[in-house]
Chains A and B, each alone.
Chain A
Amino acid sequence: EDKVVQSPLSLVVHEGDTVTLNCSYEVTNFRSLLWYKQEKKAPTFLFMLTSSGIEKKSGRLSSILDKKELFSILNITATQTGDSAVYLCAVDSIYNQGGKLIFGQGTELSVKP
C-alpha cells in the first residue's frame, strides 16, 4: 500500500531557529514529491521535486529529494511567527493515466516569538 510518512508530527521552536521537516514515502509509480503549507484553509504550494539531489530554494525555505532512500526534507531557516502552519508532504503517483496525490499526516509547526 502506498504511504507517505512525515516527522515530526508537531514541532515548537522560537523565532530565528532553523527547522528540518522530514518526509519518507513508499509509492509505486512515483512521479514527483510536493510540499504544501496549510494555514487554516487550503494548502498553498511550496515546492515540487522530481530529481534527486537538486535543491529547490525559495527565500528561507529549501527542499531536497533523495529518490534512492525515498525521502525528502524541508528546511526553514531563521523562522518567523508567520511560518507557523501545517506543512504537508505529498507524493504524486501515476494513476489511471493521470496523477494522484498521496498526503502525509503533516507536521504542525509553531514558531514562538
Chain B
Amino acid sequence: GAVVSQHPSRVICKSGTSVKIECRSLDFQATTMFWYRQFPKQSLMLMATSNEGSKATYEQGVEKDKFLINHASLTLSTLTVTSAHPEDSSFYICSTSGTSGMSSYNEQFFGPGTRLTVL
C-alpha cells in the first residue's frame, strides 16, 4: 500500500497557540487527502476532505476557520489547529486517496497519526 507520513507524531502546546500538522504521501500522487480526528475510545470522525489545488470541504460541525487545511501539492497537506484549546486535544490522522495504479476504489491509506495535547 501507499506510504503516508505525518509530522509531528506528538505535540504538546499551550492553550491559545496554533499547531501545524503535516501529512505527506511518500510514494504516490495524492489528489485527495482526508483529515480525521479520533477521541479516546471513539472511532475516526472525518473532519475535512482536502483536494490538491482547491479549497477543502469540511464536514458539518467542523469550523473551517479553526482547522485550516492547505493542500498545495500532490504530496503534502497540512492541518493547522488555530488558537488551540484543551478540548482540541485528540489524535489527528490523515489518509490519502488518489491515482496510483493500485486500485480504482477509495482504498485509503493512513498516516501514523499525531497526538495533540493542549494544556
Residue of B nearest to A95 (CB): B49
Contacts of A98 in B (CB 8 A): 32, 49, 51, 97, 106
Complex Cα gap A90–B107 (Å) = 11
Q: Are A88 and B107 within 8 A (Cβ)?
A: no
Shortest distance in angstroms between B115's beta carbon and chain A's nearest beta carbon? 9
Binds A, one of B14-22, B38-46, B68-76, B78-86: B38-46
Are the C-beta atoms of B34 and A42 separated by less than 8 Å? no
Least CB distance from B62 to A in Å reads: 14
- The total of chain B residues at the interface (CB under 8 A) is 24
Interface stretch of the complex, out of A11-19, A59-67, A74-82, A102-110: A102-110
Q: Any chain A CB within 8 A of the CB of B61?
A: no
Instruction: Determine which of B43, B45, B97 lies in contact with A99 in the assembled complex, contact meaning CB atoms within 8 Å.
Output: B97
Cβ-defined contact, A88 with B105, below 8 A: no
A43 close to B (CB within 8 Å): yes
Does A96 interact with chain B (Cβ within 8 Å)?
Answer: yes
Alpha-carbon distance A42/B42, docked complex (angstroms): 13
CA distance A36 to B36 in the complex (A): 15
Q: List 5 tightest A-B contacts by C-beta distance, closest first.
A: A99-B106, A42-B110, A92-B106, A42-B113, A103-B43
User: Which B residues lie at the A interface, using CB under 8 A?
Assistant: 1, 32, 34, 42-46, 49, 51, 57, 93, 95, 97, 103, 105-113
24 contacts between A and B (CB under 8 A): A31-B105, A31-B106, A32-B106, A41-B112, A42-B93, A43-B93, A43-B110, A45-B1, A45-B107, A45-B110, A48-B107, A92-B105, A92-B106, A96-B57, A98-B32, A98-B97, A99-B105, A100-B46, A101-B34, A101-B44, A101-B95, A101-B106, A103-B43, A106-B43
